[in-house]
Amino acid sequence: MTAPTSSTDVARASRLEGELRLPGDKSISHRALMLALLATGESTIRGAGDGADVRSTAGIVMALGGEVRRSAAPAGNADYDVRSDGAPRQPAGILACANSGTSLRLFAGILAGHPVRAVLDGDASLRGRPMARIIEPLRSMGATVEGSDADSHPPLTVTGRSPLRAIDWSTPVPSAQVKSAILLAGLRAEGVTTVRESVATRDHTERMLRARGIPVRTERGEGGGTVIRIEGGAAMQARDEQVPGDPSAAAFWLVAGAIHPAAELRLRDVGVNPTRRAVIDLLVRMGASIEETPVSDPLTEGEPIADLVARSSDLTALELSPAETAAAIDEIPILCLAATQASGRTVIRGAGELRHKESDRIAGIVDGLRALGARIESRGDDIVVDGPTALRGAVVDSHGDHRLALTFAIAGLVADGHTTIGDAASVSVSYPTFFDDLERIRS
Ligand code: S3P
């Protein structure tokens, strides 16, 4: 495996062609490991993503008493066998989440309902990310949760309480991590815990809890949102999981295929869960040629999957509403790149949450794509892109953010000359084999 350490150079490709299998879905991999810790017995997870974020979660499962065996799987993925007695044990040291917000927020929810005291910490990026959004509901449920810096940043010290109080909580910003933290705490609450969200966020936690015998109901809320209810006290059943390819990783190749003039990229076994597929539908609305063939696999029955083929396309600009932006939140950087090659003005409304990801992604994408010659700017919480613009290679900074590094690497495949990406090693957070895949499909 190539492991770029500092700057990485990507030259314009004359052709993009080939078939790829993607990293196992990061969101599902985290949850499969966490739920394996909460189930009694042995769980097998096949095809989990092997990026640094999922490895952080596996490390924490071990620190909390899970017996974890990891082995290499095809496409740079990992298989896991996890044995657990169903309850997290008091950890000996700090629980290291590194760059992973999903590890930190979801484990905070898990630990809130167990008789342990644990410190969750992360790297400089994670220490800068907002945590009041999980601290407040978990405190309302009766757990003691303390952060640093006016109580809203990691490290977080969680002192669990059993049982917790059930709450009825409306999430202030659409966030699957916040929803999941509350639902995982709700497993240990007396009665029914309710989470209301104004825009439906990814629903893997709900699907995976149901598949493990936990009573979780989802109803339509007012104005397009959802209401999720979980009944506390049920026992988690161990279950085997086959993790689908990550649609957020697929998005990079879908855009590469669409914007490169000589491209045909085939992506196998991609997760197309309705709460994750917005990027595919938005690209198709922009005119991208994406062929989708559903795949039936009994092992991934809980999550729909498909093979996708992306071919060179003429794109047109699009306006995204705040709800559409929220539905494609992890794919906004790569959609901005697509917009630089689309005719007309693309407006991405209500993207403010991007400032609170692994880096300030609005600043990072605007600076990086501008350095490559794009016409892009931020206006408050909106991003405005005028296209099409011929990109030219330059030096760009990914700010240690995997989704920015991946976006700039794809930009390098269509920009004239060479694009040099600072801090490209961050791709290993979600897609450690990315540069190997890139070499395989380019000429
Ligand atoms: C994730 C939820 C999203 C997403 C992140 C993964 C998850 O974060 O950006 O990459 O697995 O639940 P938010 O909940 O902060 O929107």
Q: Nearest-CA neighbor of 228 among 244, 243, 214?
A: 214
Quote the pLDDT of residue 422: 92
Q: Is the pLDDT score of 224 beyond 90?
A: no
CA–centroid distance, 314 to ligand 1, in Å, is: 31
Count the neighbouring beta carbons within 10 Å of the beta carbon of residue 17.
16
Span 221-230, average pLDDT: 90
Decide: helix, strand or coil at residue 187: coil
Strand partners, 397: 422
- Give the C-alpha separation, 94 to 247, whole Å: 32
Span 111-120, average pLDDT: 98
Identify which of 25, 26, 27 to mutate to test ligand 1's pocket (most ligand atoms within 8 A of the CB).
27
- Given the CA of residue 326, which atom of ligand 1 is nearest to it? 16
CA–centroid distance, 175 to ligand 1, in Å, is: 6
Residue nearest to ligand 1 atom 9, measured at CA? 330
Give me the percent of the chain exceeding a pLDDT of 90.
94
CA–centroid distance, 190 to ligand 1, in Å, is: 27
- Give the C-alpha separation, 265 to 441, whole Å: 8
Residue 161 CB contacts under 8 Å (≥ 6 apart), including other chains = 112, 113, 115, 142, 143, 144
Residue nearest to ligand 1 atom 4, measured at CA? 330
What is the average pLDDT value for the chain, to the nearest integer? 96
CA–centroid distance, 374 to ligand 1, in Å, is: 28
Identify which of 131, 173, 177 to mutate to test ligand 1's pocket (most ligand atoms within 8 A of the CB).
177
Identify which of 25, 99, 102 to mutate to test ligand 1's pocket (most ligand atoms within 8 A of the CB).
102
Quote the pLDDT of residue 302: 82
The residues spanned by each domain of the chain are 7-24+247-441, 26-228
Which of the four pLDDT bands, split at 50, 70 and 90, describes residue 1?
very low
Q: Nearest-CA neighbor of 423 among 398, 404, 403, 406?
A: 398
pLDDT of 117-167, one tens digit each?
A: 999 999 999 999 999 999 999 999 999 999 997 778 999 999 999 999 999
Q: Which fold has domain 7-24+247-441?
A: UDP-n-acetylglucosamine1-carboxyvinyl-transferase; Chain (3.65.10)
Which member of 25, 50, 79, 330 is catalytic?
Answer: 330
Residue with tokens 């914007």, as numbered in its chain: 259
Task: Assess whether the region 7-24+247-441 and the region 26-228 belong to the same CATH fold.
Answer: yes
Q: Which fold has domain 26-228?
A: UDP-n-acetylglucosamine1-carboxyvinyl-transferase; Chain (3.65.10)
Which of the four pLDDT bands, split at 50, 70 and 90, describes residue 3?
very low
Chain Cα centroid distance, residue 199? 17
Residue 430 CB contacts under 8 Å (≥ 6 apart), including other chains = 23, 26, 49, 51, 53, 246, 248, 249, 402, 403, 406
Q: Is the pLDDT score of 2 beyond 80?
A: no
CA–centroid distance, 102 to ligand 1, in Å, is: 6
Quote the pLDDT of residue 350: 98
Host H or E run for residue 396: strand 395-397
Q: Is the pLDDT score of 50 beyond 90?
A: yes
Pocket of ligand 1 (CB under 6 A): 27, 102, 175-178, 180, 202, 329-330
Identify which of 273, 329, 402 to mutate to test ligand 1's pocket (most ligand atoms within 8 A of the CB).
329
Chain Cα centroid distance, residue 259? 23
> Between these two residues, 43 and 301, which has the higher pLDDT value?
43
Q: Nearest-CA neighbor of 184 among 145, 224, 141, 153?
A: 141
pLDDT of 174-193, one tens digit each?
A: 999 999 999 999 999 999 99
In the annotation, is 330 catalytic?
yes
Give me the percent of the chain exceeding a pLDDT of 70.
98
pLDDT of 228-258, one tens digit each?
A: 999 999 999 999 999 999 999 999 999 999 9
Which of the four pLDDT bands, split at 50, 70 and 90, describes residue 4?
very low
Residue 79 CB contacts under 8 Å (≥ 6 apart), including other chains = 44, 45, 46, 47, 48, 70, 71, 72, 73
Residue nearest to ligand 1 atom 16, measured at CA? 175
CA–centroid distance, 323 to ligand 1, in Å, is: 15
Establish how many alpha carbons lie within 13 A of residue 251's alpha carbon, considering only the half-sphere containing its beta carbon.
30
Q: Is the pLDDT score of 362 beyond 70?
A: yes
- Give the C-alpha separation, 89 to 379, whole Å: 48
Residue nearest to ligand 1 atom 15, measured at CA? 175
Quote the pLDDT of residue 149: 75
Identity of the residue numbered 210: R
